Amino acid sequence: MELTPDWIVGFVDGEGCFHVSLQKHPEMTVGHQVLPEFTVVQHERDIQVLYALKKHFGAGVVRRNHGERFAFRIRNLEGLAQVCEFFMKHPLKTKKHTDFRKFRQILLMMQERRHLTREGLLEIIEVALTMNSTTRPRLEEIRESLKLG
Amino acid sequence: MELTPDWIVGFVDGEGCFHVSLQKHPEMTVGHQVLPEFTVVQHERDIQVLYALKKHFGAGVVRRNHGERFAFRIRNLEGLAQVCEFFMKHPLKTKKHTDFRKFRQILLMMQERRHLTREGLLEIIEVALTMNSTTRPRLEEIRESLKLG
């Protein structure tokens, strides 16, 4: 299946997700690892589309998500840099564009290794908390503990 | 906002819906009216995209759906003919394409006025029951009553 840039933009405007989470990592000075990821979830019947996206970006994996739903997911920073380059060149048309810009901002901070300092991590959390318009109680909790520490 | 055909295909592959329902209509010989509709639902923050689709197809309305979600909806047959022409020229890439083909088949039957006969209506119901991979108990009920009648 051949995908055109415009089709990918339209499909990701509908189905894509730019997400940043934190994972406990006691060996790191700040105690947490930053995990940015780009995902597209589809019903099993459209797994072909997910593989076409994987081929297009030359990165990521296709894995079962929940039940009959599968996810195409890119987590490695090199692959995510490709994703950023693509959506800078071919901008999203929905408000997901705002999430993408914040996502990219976090990736750029990580490239500058700012996620390895308490101040940088706090900054990343502040940005992540304004993404995806959902509440993130766990992220808020980590923020408060970082502020205290 | 300018939409390209490929973007529209990608977005509808993700967010569009081709749906056929039946409504009681005692004045009609067969007792039911066939209601085909094409819809795209978005959160209020992306209502702009819905208006851009309305402009592109030159048909339909944008209305509040549930809570903060809005729907762009085309119900009139002339507008739906435009939709069919568009997606015949620019095919969907997901399995939604199959639903679209069935949707178009029903519209063509309606153009031939076959929905006004019991046999035609039964045929339409059979096709509609295989769309959108959800169960349609009410549609099945109508089918059974038509078979008896």
CA–CA min distance B11, chain A (Å): 4
Instruction: Identify all chain A residues contacting B7, using CB atoms and an 8 Å cutoff.
Output: 6-7, 9-10, 13, 93
Instruction: Identify all chain A residues contacting B9, using CB atoms and an 8 Å cutoff.
Output: 7, 10
**What are the residues of chain B with a beta carbon less than 8 Å away from any beta carbon of chain A?**
1, 3-15, 42-43, 45-46, 49, 52, 93-95
Q: How far apart are CA B110 and CA B106, in angstroms?
A: 6
The number of domains in chain A is 1
Chain A interface, best mutation among B11, B51, B90, by max A CB count within 10 A: B11
Q: Would you call A94 and B13 a contact, using CB atoms and an 8 Å cutoff?
A: no
The pLDDT confidence band at residue B147, using thresholds 50, 70 and 90, is confident
Is pLDDT of A74 > 90? yes
> Is the ipTM, as predicted for this complex, more than 0.95?
no
DSSP bridge pairs for B63: B71
The pLDDT confidence band at residue A139, using thresholds 50, 70 and 90, is confident
CATH number of the domain that A29 lies in?
3.10.28.10
Considering only the beta carbons, identify the residue of B6, B14, B45 that sits closest to A6.
B6
Instruction: Identify all chain B residues contacting A3, using CB atoms and an 8 Å cutoff.
Output: 93
Q: What is the mean pLDDT of residues A3-21?
A: 97
More confident residue, A69 or A144: A69
pLDDT at B113: 94
Chain B interface, best mutation among A93, A97, A99, by max B CB count within 10 A: A93
Chain A interface, best mutation among B2, B6, B12, by max A CB count within 10 A: B6
Q: How far apart are CA B92 and CA B6, in angstroms?
A: 9
Tell me how long chain B is: 149
CA–CA min distance B2, chain A (Å): 9
pLDDT single digits (tens) A98-134: 999 999 999 999 999 999 999 999 999 999 999 987 7
Q: What is the mean pLDDT of residues A27-43?
A: 92
pLDDT at B72: 98
Give the 3-state secondary structure of residue B108. helix
pLDDT at A26: 83
Q: How far apart are CA A116 and CA A46, in angstroms?
A: 39
Instruction: Specify burial of residue A109 (Cβ count, 10 A radius: 0-12, 13-18, 19+).
Output: middle
pLDDT at B136: 87
Specify the pTM.
Answer: 0.92
DSSP bridge pairs for A63: A71
Is pLDDT of B12 > 90? yes
Q: Would you call B46 and A14 a contact, using CB atoms and an 8 Å cutoff?
A: no
pLDDT at A145: 83
Mean pLDDT, rounded, of chain B: 93
Q: How much of chain B exceeds pLDDT 70, in percent?
A: 100
Considering only the beta carbons, identify the residue of A10, A15, A45 that sits closest to B7.
A10
Q: How far apart are CA A72 and CA B91, in angstroms?
A: 22
Range of the domain at B101: 5-148
Instruction: Specify burial of residue B122 (Cβ count, 10 A radius: 0-12, 13-18, 19+).
Output: middle
Q: Provide the CA A43 distance to its chain's centre, in angstroms.
A: 20
For residue B92, how many C-alpha atoms fall within 13 Å in the half-sphere facing its CB? 21
Residue type (1 letter), B48: Q
Mean pLDDT, rounded, of chain A: 93
pLDDT single digits (tens) B94-146: 999 999 999 999 999 999 999 999 999 999 999 999 998 778 888 888 888 88
Q: How far apart are CA A46 and CA A83, in angstroms?
A: 21
DSSP bridge pairs for A21: A35
Q: Would you call B7 and A93 a contact, using CB atoms and an 8 Å cutoff?
A: yes
